Amino acid sequence: MLLSVPPFAAGPGEQEVERLICASVVSDNTSVYDQMEQIRDASMRHNPPLGLHAVLLYQSGWFVYWAEGPGSALRALLERVRRDDRHEAQRVVHHSRGKRFLSTPWSMMMSRSHDTPAEFGLRVTAIRQMMEQGRQFAPTSVIRRLSAPMRLPAARHLPDPEAFHRVGVCGVANEAFDLVAWLGAQQGQPLAHRRFAGEVDLDSGSDYVEFMQDGHPCRVIAISRHGLLHGLRRAFLPDWPLLLLVMSGQPKRDDALMDRVRDACQGLPCCPALLGIAPDTETHARMASRSRSEGLHYLHGAPIASHDCGAIWHEAREQLKRLGAPASSIWPMTEPLLAA
């Protein structure tokens, strides 16, 4: 069902930006990273003064460019991008207005994939055709559908392939990546690996695994503390009903993790609930108090050791049951359809 009111619309007194995502075929795949570095340098010079924030993704011989900003500046940027000979066959795959999703001027991602350019292109065409029929997906959903579609056989024929649980995990050290690796082994599912780069020094990695959980597709994503502040990663936080925080019981390290979460959530349209995993009740109480002071919602249960992956996932699973079925990611078409 289409929504009657655009999600994440700008409220009274809030800045409204125009959002645009386009996909295009890379002309020369021999030096893609150098091309992305050049595009980053030019974008960092020209875009911030105009209020433009952007993300560039490369995968399977395609560029995907997501930009947000004032309408006139964004459309001028689109024209410049169209004339760039480093790519061709540009297609617009999302167009909307509302609150800003991209909190930093620039970020980019190179994604390893076994998909051919033709397979990636089929996903681009499918999303574009949906737009022409008057349906589209949220900006983050478009990026996921292109670069990381849900691949579980049991989820392929669902009415909305984007209606799956998304659970983020972050710890003071490597606990998040350990949990995702454990889940992959338990479920017999492979891990996916991603690399993100920021405008200066926010390069980071992320792993995820997907499986069926209580009748619903589920994806669990491990991120580092450093990765929480990456612009593209922050844009995805509103899509996550839960962010698991695996604490150590050491106040200095746990406070540092909460500081990163606070900074990552600042200015977002909405934030995930924080499911605290802590070894003792004192840590839970302190983190719950900190969360309240930052306007964040903290959930906690019985004390759990940071290495007890089975108990951690049991806690997360119970919370997912309380949340019920995953929400749809279909948005209404509120803008005139761009021709590209």
Do residue 177 and residue 306 come from a single domain? yes
**275 shares its domain with 189:** yes
- What CATH number is associated with residue 187? 3.40.50.300
Residues 175, 98 share a domain: no
Could you tell me if residue 160 is inside a domain? no
The pLDDT of residue 2 is above 50: no
Q: How confident is the model at residue 10 (pLDDT cuts 50, 70, 90)?
A: confident
Q: Are residues 173 and 317 both part of a single domain? A: yes
Q: How many domains, in total, are found in the chain? A: 2
**What's the rounded Cα separation, in Å, for the pair 281 and 259?**
20
Do residue 115 and residue 218 come from a single domain?
no
pLDDT band at 340 (very low <50, low <70, confident <90, very high): low
Q: Please answer whether residues 122 and 321 qualify as being in contact, where contact means their C-beta atoms are separated by less than 8 angstroms.
A: no
Q: Are 272 and 296 in contact (CB under 8 A)?
A: no
Separation in Å, CA 206 to CA 7, 60, 98, 165, 312 = 27, 19, 28, 17, 19
Residue 16: which region, alpha, beta or left (left: phi > 0; alpha: psi -120 to 50)? beta
Report whether pLDDT(3) > 80.
Answer: no
Distance, in Å, from the CA atom of 46 to the CA atom of 44, rounded to the nearest integer, reads 6
Query: Are residues 282 and 180 both part of a single domain?
Result: yes
Does 9 reside within a domain? no
Domain end position, chosen among 120, 152, 184: 152
Buried-state track 198-225, b at ≥16 Cβ within 10 A, e below 16 = bbeebebebbbbbbebeebbbbbbbbbb
Is 339 within a domain?
A: no
243 pLDDT tier (thresholds 50, 70, 90): very high
Are 64 and 140 found together in one domain?
yes
Q: Which domain holds residue 275?
A: 165-323
Same domain, 175 and 281: yes
**What is the pLDDT confidence band of residue 217, given thresholds at 50, 70 and 90?**
very high
Q: How confident is the model at residue 199 (pLDDT cuts 50, 70, 90)?
A: low
Is there a contact between 288 and 298 (Cβ–Cβ < 8 Å)?
A: yes
pLDDT at 333: 63
Q: Which long-range contacts (CB under 8 A, 24 or more apart) does 311-319 make?
A: 312/179, 312/244, 312/246, 312/277, 313/179, 313/182, 313/183, 315/275, 315/277, 316/167, 316/220, 316/242, 316/244, 316/275, 317/213, 317/214, 319/242, 319/273, 319/275
Q: Work out the average pLDDT over 59-66.
A: 95
Q: What is the pLDDT of residues 311-327, one digit of tens each?
A: 999 999 999 999 888 87
Q: Can you tell me the mean pLDDT for 52-71?
A: 94
On whether both 241 and 181 belong to a single domain, the answer is: yes
Helices (H) and strands (E) in the chain, counts: 9, 14
Three-class SS state of 276:
strand
- Does position 201 have pLDDT exceeding 80, yes or no? no
Give yes or no: residues 170 and 319 share one domain.
yes
Answer whether residue 335 is part of any domain: no
Of the segments 103-117, 192-206, 286-300, which one has the largest average pLDDT value? 286-300
Q: How many residues does the chain have?
A: 340
The verdict on 171 and 301 lying in the same domain is yes
Asked, for residue 334, whether it belongs to a domain, the answer is no
Same domain, 96 and 219: no
Lowest mean pLDDT among 66-70, 116-120, 204-208, 211-215: 204-208
Q: Is the pLDDT of residue 5 over 90?
A: no
254 domain-assigned: yes
Q: Where are the beta strands (DSSP E) in the chain?
A: 17-26, 53-59, 62-69, 87-98, 106-110, 135-137, 165-171, 192-198, 204-213, 216-223, 242-246, 273-277, 298-300, 330-332
What value does the mean pLDDT of the chain take?
A: 88
What is the Cα–Cα distance from 47 to 126, expressed in whole angstroms?
Answer: 30
pLDDT the model gives residue 198: 62
User: Which among 63, 80, 145, 70 has a CA at the least distance from the CA of 330?
Assistant: 145
Return the SS3 of 27. coil
Residue 139 sits in a domain whose CATH number is 3.30.70.100
**Residue listed under structure tokens 């875009």:** 47
Flag whether 12 is in a domain: no
Q: Which of 216, 237, 256 is nearest to 101 (CA)?
A: 237
Range 249-253 average pLDDT: 95
Please indicate, yes or no, if residue 329 is contained in any of the structural domains: no
- β-bridge mates for residue 246, sequence order: 171, 277
